[in-house]
Structure 1
Amino acid sequence: MSYNEFIAEREKIDFLLERGYQIVSVHEDLDGAFVLFQKAEDHITLHIQTADARKYFSVKLLR
């Protein structure tokens, strides 16, 4: 995975968090992580594939 792919995934994560979404669940497998974001009744799932983006959302989750 390239640095540009990480940046794109990081921007998607930041965009959702800035809009008030919260991470409610994470399912990881060999293809990456499926992160479920929720805001009220709205749900969005992101497929995170880069290792750096997986570390990034983990840090955000712990905050």
Structure 2
Amino acid sequence: MSDYQQFLAERDKIDFLLQKGFRIKSVTENLSGAFVEFEKASEEETEIQVLHVLTAEARKYFSVVLMKQTNHLD
């Protein structure tokens, strides 16, 4: 799979989780990419999903999403 195709797949996974009502809770970066923890809280339970992001483009993408989420970007 090309790097661009991998980025598209990772971006789609991020967008899917956001559409389902998840928000980025935390990010842990290391030499093999970034582990992005998404959280969806409801009155009954809190659901956690962790996504391993490998491409630099997808890390930039979720960084922008995180900035928007914290109201630093409109």
Normalising by structure 1, report the TM-score.
Answer: 0.97
Instruction: Point out the structure with max Rg over C-alpha.
Output: 2
- 1:21 corresponds to 2:22: yes
Q: Identity over the aligned pairs, expressed in percent? A: 57
CA–CA separation in structure 2 for the residues paired with 1:31 and 1:21: 24
Normalising by structure 2, report the TM-score.
Answer: 0.83
Query: Which residues of structure 1 form unaligned runs of 5+?
Result: none
Query: Which residues of structure 2 form unaligned runs of 5+?
Result: 69-74
- 1:42 corresponds to 2:47: yes
CA–CA separation in structure 2 for the residues paired with 1:34 and 1:46: 6
Runs of at least 4 residues of structure 1 off by over 6 A?
Answer: none
Q: How many residues align?
A: 63
